[in-house]
Homo-oligomer: A and B are copies of this chain.
Amino acid sequence: MKSELAAILDKDSKSNKEKSLPSISIDCVVFGFDTSSLKVLLVKLKDKDEWSLPGGYLGKNESLDESANRILNERTGAKEIYLNQFKTFGKPNRNEDFFAEFPDDLWHKQRFISVGYYALINFAKVEPRVDDLSDGCEWKNVHELPSLMMDHEEIFNTALLELRKGLNYRPVGLNLLPEKFTMPELQRLYEIILDKPLNRGNFYRKMTKYGILNKLKETRKGGAHKAPNLYTFSLETYKEALENGFKEAW
């Protein structure tokens, strides 16, 4: 008896042969930030025990960036998210065995190289969605990952390393923090991404040098301590740095 997954894969296979380019897949590492922890969006395929990164195939008339955005949108409803292409994974035999029990002409069984994208979003703002092929789509804490299929653990680890390295030349925080935020709130975001405490004075000096912050005259009222200063991002220099790296760097 055909399993439910087999029937759905067969349909999906026919559809992709029509509409997708061969040999190329896209995988998205969607990091979610919620002011106290870093999570990643994972999908569970029907009939399989392992989880996977949300992914898909490149449409014949789609650019890679459009494809990654479509996949993220299908999974979360999120639109106009900054997706960062970080690496393409292309070892032979990275995926062919996963569908070993299915017919050889199944679309999903060919050799794929996979273009990896990551995004960092505020996970309170999006709603994960399952699709026909999956029976789970959930945020998982990056420190408590379930077993991942194929080379998805390598793809995830590479994305996390690139996200962390990226802090040295690219700004982060827009759309994750409230419009007005304090320096300790910004520091907490960096500490959660890096998974380590940072020195307060060093953090302040480094962030100030990047030239992407506007210090407001307002302070955050309430609380027992001295009211901390509020900041906004300077959109022009922020976007310039996102494109070309920090001016302060080499």
Contact = CB atoms under 8 A, between A and B. Distances in A.
A76 B245 CA distance: 32
A62 B92 contact: yes
A88 B24 CA distance: 11
Contacts of A245: 161, 164-165, 168
A250 B194 contact: yes
Nearest to A250: B167
Contact of A90 (B90, B115, B246): B115
Given A23-B21, A111-B21, A161-B244, A168 B90 contact: no
B165 A64 contact: no
4 closest Cβ pairs, A-B complex: A64-B90, A168-B249, A88-B88, A167-B250
A246 B165 CA distance: 9
B190 A250 contact: yes
Contacts of A246: 168
Given A90-B64, A91-B63, A169-B169, A113 B58 contact: yes
Given A165-B169, A167-B250, A245-B165, A63 B90 contact: yes
A24 to B, nearest CB: 6
A61 B92 contact: yes
A20 to B, nearest CB: 10
A240 to B, nearest CB: 13
B92 A115 contact: no
Contacts of A244: 161
A75 B115 CA distance: 26
